[in-house]
Chains A and B, each alone.
Chain A
Amino acid sequence: MKQGVNGKDPRFKIAHREAWMGIILVIINFIWWYGFAYGLGSGPVENYTYVFGLPAWFFYSCVAGFILMVILVSFAVKFFFKEVPFEDDIKEHNS
């Protein structure tokens, strides 16, 4: 395998950063989901408030959480993910 002197494929730096973003996103997802569900949903049912007919804990945790993740994921992909070629046999410049 031909590689740089240090044996590191530069594309892997991008790949590693994107994998970390996946981990960060899933942590945000979990905290939002857990926080609203048990933060708002743990009180007695008589004190529940409702959004669009759904209990507020459920609306924020599951419905808004879903929409939030779609927005965050789209944002991350559009602005931080880089397009790299996957094939190895691209011309090797002797720069």
Chain B
Amino acid sequence: MNWAILTPILVFMVVIFFIGFWASKKVYSSDSFIQEYFLGGRQLGGFILAMTMTATYGSASSFIGGPGAAYTQGLGWVLLSMAQLATGYFVLMILGKKFAIMARKYNSITLVDFLKSRYDSKWVVLLSAASIIVFLFSAMAAQWVGGARLIESVTGLNYTSALFLFAISVVIYVIIGGFRAVAFTDAAQGIVMFGGTLILLIATIYAGGGISNIISDLAAENPNLVTPFGFDGGLTPLYVSSFWILVGVGVVGLPQITVRAMSYKNARAMHTAIIVGTIVVGFIMLGMHLIGVFARPVLPGIDVGDKVMPLLAMEVLPAWLAGLVLAAPMAAIMSTVDSLLLLVSSAVVKDVYLNYIKPEASSRDVKNVSLGVTGVLGVAVFLMALSPPDLIIWLNLFAFGGLEAAFIWPVVLGLYWRKGNKYGALASMVIGVGSYILIHTFFPNPFGIHTVVLPILFSLAAYVTGSLLGRVKGNKPAEAVM
């Protein structure tokens, strides 16, 4: 057991817990429980909004998997990761004021709520709620495994205790505090992610004897490491560019991000969030992936990519500071997981229970069911993560790209194209998810582009065709509020 490293991480978790606890007080004084619990009462300010978007988006892959890949691939992987800079401004600018205004007109609390009002179709609701529940539940389980493995590897706790520690600290504040607790803890976690990146970047450059030195060491080892093409020249411009769809503009379709675009207080908050978000997401992505590349001369010969970040922190920093820096990936994982947990819970409670099971539920019922469902989901994910079934691992592969392909057009064209209707939305979701799973399974990365690109194009075609054909059937599009 390494107490010098464990202590700062434990302190961090306790602090997060108290922030969540403090934020939860507001939930029980609010007059609209469900809007407060799942959306923070639409009261987020600009800084908190920027941080919760960045922190929710930045997950285990930004802090563990990404630096590991950069360690292997060299600067070409940092180039690829910089496609994510776009998420900092693009999502809020595209969904922007239109989404904020329409979500208020419809009185939507979840993304599915919005789709329900926009398309007026039971099948759109059920299909979208089902994809959120299935995919994000799996994604959450995978993140929990990552969180627990990280605690296990840096502290020497066994996997079950590590998972338990992780689960307890996240689940409790999500259950009691809802969205506001998630957003405020995300802000604290985002600050830790930013600070951890900064400290580790400086320490790594120092340990490597300066940037020039590190780059010439890399070039001496393998000149490809300092080119944009990857260690074996395998990163083609086309392939790298296609990541702009997966981790750049496509993020507009991710429900956990989209829901944040209806949570802010006013236009000023949105404006601040766009600027702050661009700075924070750009710095973290650039910094973390550069750290991965710079780690190579400092700490050569690591063959498991996921270990690069923890081993490097322990190598170049004193133990207590390494613990502090390693709280950053913990923060990244926690801030993703808490958002997913609440989102899956909202899909169950608001989109399924209140729509189809008990529409006349009293506000007391709603409160009990919300807390209960969140708790049960938390326990279920914990059990799944103890020994993840193959199905969960398989589903997690599609969680990111699959949800993008499902939701991007129903959301974006639902906002900006009056003629879009439920036939288009349904076709788009079915074709998007279906073709993603098929292409991923049978023809991964067709024509040298990332798997996600074709399904997004297919679902666009399906949306347009479905909407136009559906219109012929004499359906009126939901133009009322557009």
B101–A11 CB distance below 8 A: yes
A19–B98 CB distance below 8 A: yes
Pick the residue among B98, B210, B481 that contacts A15 (CB under 8 A): B98
B416–A53 CB distance below 8 A: no
| Nearest 7 CB-CB pairings of A with B | A22-B93, A53-B211, A53-B212, A15-B98, A15-B97, A45-B223, A83-B267
Residues of chain A within 8 A (CB-CB) of B229 are: 41
Please encode chain A, from 5 to 38, with 1 for each CB lying within 8 Å of some chain B CB and 0 for all others: 0010101101110110111011001100110011
Residues of chain B within 8 A (CB-CB) of A37 are: 79, 228, 237
Is A92 on the interface with B (CB-CB < 8 A)? no
Pick the residue among A22, A66, A85 that contacts B85 (CB under 8 A): A66
B278–A15 CB distance below 8 A: no
A22–B100 CB distance below 8 A: no
Is B75 on the interface with A (CB-CB < 8 A)? yes
Please encode chain B, from 214 to 250, with 1 for each CB lying within 8 Å of some chain A CB and 0 for all others: 1100010001001111000000010001001000110
Q: B residues touching A (Cβ–Cβ < 8 Å)?
A: 75, 78-79, 82-83, 85-86, 88-90, 93-94, 96-98, 100-101, 104-105, 210-215, 219, 223, 226-229, 237, 241, 244, 248-249, 266-268, 271, 274-275, 278-279, 282-283, 286, 416, 479-482
How far, in Å, is B286 (CB) from chain A's closest CB?
6
How far, in Å, is A70 (CB) from chain B's closest CB?
6
Q: How far is the CA of A4 from the CA of B352 in the complex (A)?
A: 35
A54–B211 CB distance below 8 A: yes
Residues of chain A within 8 A (CB-CB) of B283 are: 66
A62–B93 CB distance below 8 A: no
5 interchain pairs, CB-CB under 8 A: A25-B90, A41-B228, A42-B228, A58-B226, A73-B274
B210–A53 CB distance below 8 A: yes
Residues of chain B within 8 A (CB-CB) of A33 are: 79, 82-83
Pick the residue among A23, A63, A81, A85 that contacts B271 (CB under 8 A): A81
B219–A45 CB distance below 8 A: yes
Pick the residue among A19, A55, A74, A87 that contacts B93 (CB under 8 A): A19
Q: How far is the CA of A53 from the CA of B271 in the complex (A)?
A: 35
B228–A82 CB distance below 8 A: no
B86–A26 CB distance below 8 A: yes
Residues of chain A within 8 A (CB-CB) of B271 are: 77-78, 81, 83
Pick the residue among B104, B211, B228 that contacts A87 (CB under 8 A): B104
Considering the complex, give the chain A residue whose CB is closest to the CB of B278.
Answer: A73
B94–A22 CB distance below 8 A: yes
How far, in Å, is A53 (CB) from chain B's closest CB?
3
A55–B480 CB distance below 8 A: no
- Which residue, of A30, A57, A58, has the highest number of chain B Cβ atoms within 10 A? A58
Q: How far is the CA of A86 from the CA of B100 in the complex (A)?
A: 7
Considering the complex, give the chain A residue whose CB is closest to the CB of B228.
Answer: A41
Q: How far is the CA of A26 from the CA of B274 in the complex (A)?
A: 13
Q: How far is the CA of A69 from the CA of B88 in the complex (A)?
A: 10
Q: How far is the CA of A41 from the CA of B224 in the complex (A)?
A: 11
Apart from the given pairs A16-B416, A57-B228, A86-B97, 18 other A-B contacts in the complex at a CB distance below 8 Å: A15-B101, A19-B416, A22-B90, A22-B93, A25-B90, A33-B79, A33-B83, A45-B219, A48-B226, A53-B215, A55-B215, A58-B79, A63-B286, A65-B82, A69-B85, A77-B274, A86-B101, A88-B104
Residues of chain A within 8 A (CB-CB) of B98 are: 12, 15-16, 19
How far, in Å, is B387 (CB) from chain A's closest CB?
40
Q: How far is the CA of A33 from the CA of B282 in the complex (A)?
A: 13
B481–A86 CB distance below 8 A: no
A50–B79 CB distance below 8 A: no
Residues of chain A within 8 A (CB-CB) of B226 are: 45, 48, 55, 58
Considering the complex, give the chain A residue whose CB is closest to the CB of B281.
Answer: A66
- Which residue, of B210, B227, B275, B482, has the highest number of chain A Cβ atoms within 10 A? B227
A50–B215 CB distance below 8 A: yes
A26–B227 CB distance below 8 A: no
Residues of chain A within 8 A (CB-CB) of B96 are: 15, 18-19, 22
Pick the residue among A38, A70, A88 that contacts B228 (CB under 8 A): A38
A26–B105 CB distance below 8 A: no
Pick the residue among B79, B88, B104, B267 that contacts A62 (CB under 8 A): B79
Residues of chain B within 8 A (CB-CB) of A70 are: 275, 278-279, 282
B227–A45 CB distance below 8 A: yes
Q: How far is the CA of A85 from the CA of B282 in the complex (A)?
A: 29
Q: How far is the CA of A52 from the CA of B283 in the complex (A)?
A: 17
A19-B416, A37-B228, A74-B275 given as contacts; is B97 within 8 A of A66 (CB)? no
Q: How far is the CA of A84 from the CA of B78 in the complex (A)?
A: 38
Q: How far is the CA of A36 from the CA of B105 in the complex (A)?
A: 44
Residues of chain A within 8 A (CB-CB) of B248 are: 26
How far, in Å, is B49 (CB) from chain A's closest CB?
13
How far, in Å, is A88 (CB) from chain B's closest CB?
6
How far, in Å, is A1 (CB) from chain B's closest CB?
5
Q: How far is the CA of A15 from the CA of B271 in the complex (A)?
A: 13
Q: How far is the CA of A33 from the CA of B83 in the complex (A)?
A: 9
A45-B227, A62-B78, A62-B79 given as contacts; is B97 within 8 A of A11 (CB)? yes
Residues of chain B within 8 A (CB-CB) of A87 are: 104
